[in-house]
Structures are given as structure tokens and as C-alpha cells.
Amino acid sequence: MANLQSNFLGIKSPNPFWLASAPPTDKKINVIRAFEAGWGGVVWKTLGSQVKNVSSRYSALNYNGRKAVGFNNIELISDRPLEVNLKEIREVLKLFPDRAMIISLMADNDRKSWHEMVKKSQDTGAHGLELNFGCPHGMVERGMGAAVGQDPDIAKMVVEWVMEVATIPVITKLTPNVHSAVPGGLAAIEGGTNGLSLINTIQSVTGIDLDTLVPNPNVGGQSVFGGYCGPAVKPIALKMLTTLAQEERIRNIPISGIGGITTWKDAVEFMLLGASNVQVCTAAMISGFKIITDLCDGMSNWMDEKGYKSIDDFVGLSVPKITRWEELDINFHIVAKIDQDKCIHCGLCYISCEDTSHQSIDIERGNPYNTYTIKEEECVGCNLCKIVCPVNDCITMVEQRKGDEYLNWIEYEKRGLPLNDH
């Protein structure tokens, strides 16, 4: 049986699935329910100066009959008194000593405030701290959250303040509202952080009510940019995670992956691209804490199938497989193949290829249905037909190399080969 136990910066948990700092981790009752369901750890919702939240707070992007493929919130950090949160954290730690307890922090931007917040938090017995350098709304206007994460110099300074008094591991949570997460990550490391986590939410507008003309969510006829999360942000999160994992100066720093993780497959993908564990929020908010069973069972079964004994066996294995475009093999070539026994003759492949791509599919009109075949000499292997086909494995991509040797674009140009050869 695969061993799902996680050791992140010395913080042990029975599995690598933590709940991210968010509404699900704002109160003792929520966290107890999560731990009873089987979650390996939580990042307690961000503590800081007292705030007042608004109503409403959430909105979502629905697409093609599926609800909440993207999720948006304008909620601030915890609006509960600091002492209440600290008291409840202590109580939960006594009830579940085997689970990871991380406290997210966002203090006012001065050394004294950060020192006080760190000391009070670690006095609870918590296992680690997560510095919230990513909140994209509300706190930014106060010079906090993403305002810190977007300026490497400020980020480094704040981390240094924290490390002056921290006695437990410190994780710095990076903002995705930047061109690259690498400068912020390097700044946090230079400041002394023990680990990194990303991504926080992305500034967004999920839509507009076409009757009231007010963007969502509606707060008395007005709205603001919110923080975007959920399945729709996963590709962005994976890209930003990979850029950190590829950076030599970050390579040995543990990373907690966040951003649209909904299934065990998502979690495995994050870990293959360098995350040592993962944090989940939106999926739990939409479906409840019981999803942890499927997350653990799915990852465990996959590990058994692949022969991995522990999660450390596969962390980062896919990072070397992402390279620069100039290094891709130009001689590698694939063409589409349609399984006529599985084809339902809907014509979507033909329409997409004929209208918007490479006119590589023949149509034989007939009664009662049309038949579609690939023009192999015209097919560039773009995958579009396979993507739009509604039948699994009806269209497959078959390798037909153009040359035996590996040939990248750099070498191709050096040799002065004619462009029309490929």
C-alpha cells in the first residue's frame, strides 16, 4: 500500500492534502469537521488587523452547463477577533495533535506589528506560519496582501522581520498577479523563508448581471475586482509552480501547491511539477469536506499502480519535461486517425478543421450520415479534432516522424534548412 504521509518542512501530516487559508478554515467547528473527515492539515484563515466584511461576497463562472468552473470572492481576512481565533487554534491542536496546523498571517506593514503577530501565533503551539503576500482585494488598498507580494524588496523586508522572531517554519504565499512569480519567490528566500506556497487568487470579474448591469458579486449596486480561483485557474497555477521548480535558486525550497485542485489527478499533477504537498479550497466549498476520501483513495491507487511507495518518489518528475520552445523536436510529427466504428458522425472535427484550422479532413456525404477521414498529407497534428470530438478515443494521434534524428529549431537554423521541409 502506498504511504501518503507528508513531511513538509518537518511538519508531519497523515496525507499531503491541506485546506487552504479561506472560509473553510475560519472557525474551530469547520476545522474539526475537516479533520474528522480526514484532511491532513489546515492553513487557518488569515489573521491580522480587525476588518469588516461585506455582503454579498462570492460569485462564480458557469460554463457549458457546469456550475462554478471558476469561483470569485471579495472576502477579506478573518473578521473574527484575534484572541478568539488563537483560542480556537489551541483547542483544535489538543484535539488533533497529528494534523498539520498552519496559521496564515497578514500584519500591518511595520516590524513591531509583524513581531507581535508572529509571537502570538506561534504561542498557540501551531506547527507553521504562512505569510499572506497574495490577497488581491481589500487589503491591497491598505498596502498589504498582493501589494507586498508584487514588490520583491518589500516582500524580502517583511520576511526578514518575521524571521527575526519566528521559531517555527515559515511559508511565504506568493501572488499570481505579477508577470512572474520567480522574483517574489527569490525575494522571500533571500529574506529567509523556509518554504513557498502558490498561487493565491487572481484579480477578476466573473460576469455582469444583464438586468441590473452590476458586476458580480453585487454589494448594494456596486462591485470590485475579486480573487479568482477554482478549476479555471489550475493551468495558470501549474505554470507558475513550474517556473519556481525550474529555478535553480529555488529548487531545494519546499513548495505547497494551490490553485484549482479538485481531484486526486489535479493533486498528482501539482506534485509532479514540484509541489511537495497541496492545498484545496474551492472544491471543498462546493462539494464539502468528504471529498478528502476520494482525494486520498485516488492518489493511493495511482501510486500503487505506478509502484510509488511514498509521495516523495514522484514529486518533481515532470519538471524536466517542460523545456523551451526552441528545444522541441521538429522531426516529431503526429497525424490524426478516426476510428470509424466509434464515430457518431457529428461532424465537429470536420467543421473545426475546415473553418479554423488546416482543412485536413475529407467529408463523404451520404445517407443516413456523412463519413469523415483524415488527409494524412495535410494533417499537422495540432490535436484540434481530438479535442472537439465528443467520443473518447474515437480520434487518436499516431506518430509519423519526419526524420530519424532529434532536430530542434536552433540546430535547424544553424543548418540553414528550408522552411518548407517541415
**What integer pLDDT is reported at residue 422 of this predicted model?**
44
Tens digit of each residue's pLDDT (9 = 90 or more) over 91-146: 999 999 999 999 999 998 899 999 999 999 999 999 999 999 866 544 444 455 45
Q: 303 with 334, same domain? A: no
**What integer pLDDT is reported at residue 76 of this predicted model?**
85
Q: 62 with 148, same domain? A: yes
Q: Is 367 exposed, middle or buried (0-12, 13-18, 19+ CB in 10 A)?
A: exposed
Please identify which of the residues 135, 229, 385, 389 carries the catalytic annotation: 135
Q: What percent of the chain has pLDDT over 70?
A: 95
DSSP code string of 357-378: S---EEEE--SS--EEEE-TTT
Establish if 88 belongs to a structural domain: yes
- Cell matching residue 307: 509502484
- Cell matching residue 236: 495558470
Q: Is 246 exposed, middle or buried (0-12, 13-18, 19+ CB in 10 A)?
A: middle
Nearest to 372 by CA among 329, 400, 411, 337: 337
CATH of the domain at 34: 3.20.20.70
Instruction: Read off the amino acid at residue 46.
Output: T
Residue by residue, pLDDT tens for the chain (422 residues) are: 899 999 999 999 999 999 999 999 999 999 999 999 999 999 999 999 878 889 998 999 999 899 999 999 988 899 999 999 999 999 999 999 999 999 999 998 899 999 999 999 999 999 999 999 866 544 444 455 456 778 899 999 999 999 999 999 999 999 999 999 999 999 999 999 999 999 999 999 999 999 999 999 999 999 999 999 999 999 999 999 999 999 999 989 999 999 999 999 999 999 999 999 999 999 999 999 999 999 999 999 999 999 999 999 999 999 999 999 999 999 999 999 999 999 999 999 999 999 999 999 999 999 899 999 999 999 999 999 999 999 999 999 999 998 889 999 998 888 887 765 54
Distance, in Å, from the CA atom of 27 to the CA atom of 163, rounded to the nearest integer, reads 27
Residue 218 is classified by DSSP as P
135 flagged as catalytic? yes
CB atoms within 10 A of CB 337: 17
Q: Residue 81's domain spans which residues?
A: 6-321
Q: 271 with 378, same domain? A: no
Q: How far is the CA of 354 from the CAs of 233, 362, 377, 379, in angstroms? A: 31, 9, 15, 12
Whether 164 contacts 140, CB under 8 Å:
no
Q: 376 with 391, same domain? A: yes
Q: 330 with 316, same domain? A: no
Q: Which residues contact 19 (CB under 8 A, 6 or more apart)?
A: 25, 31, 34, 39, 41, 42, 43, 279, 280, 281, 284
**What integer pLDDT is reported at residue 367 of this predicted model?**
86
Domain boundary, last residue among 285, 306, 321? 321
CATH of the domain at 394: 3.30.70.20
Number of domains in the chain: 2
Domain boundary, last residue among 286, 321, 356? 321
Q: 385 with 312, same domain? A: no
Establish if 78 belongs to a structural domain: yes
Q: 383 with 246, same domain? A: no
Q: 302 with 230, same domain? A: yes
Directed axis angle between helix 152-163 and helix 111-122, to 10°? 50
DSSP code string of 164-190: TT--S-EEEEPPSSSS-SHHHHHHHHH
Establish if 87 belongs to a structural domain: yes
Q: 191 with 283, same domain? A: yes
Establish if 1 belongs to a structural domain: no
Tens digit of each residue's pLDDT (9 = 90 or more) over 230-288: 999 999 999 999 999 999 999 899 999 999 999 999 999 999 999 999 999 999 999 99
Establish if 33 belongs to a structural domain: yes
Nearest to 171 by CA among 98, 222, 244, 70: 244
Q: 357 with 404, same domain? A: yes
Nearest to 1 by CA among 302, 314, 313: 302
Q: 270 with 363, same domain? A: no
Domain boundary, last residue among 275, 299, 321? 321
Q: 310 with 333, same domain? A: no
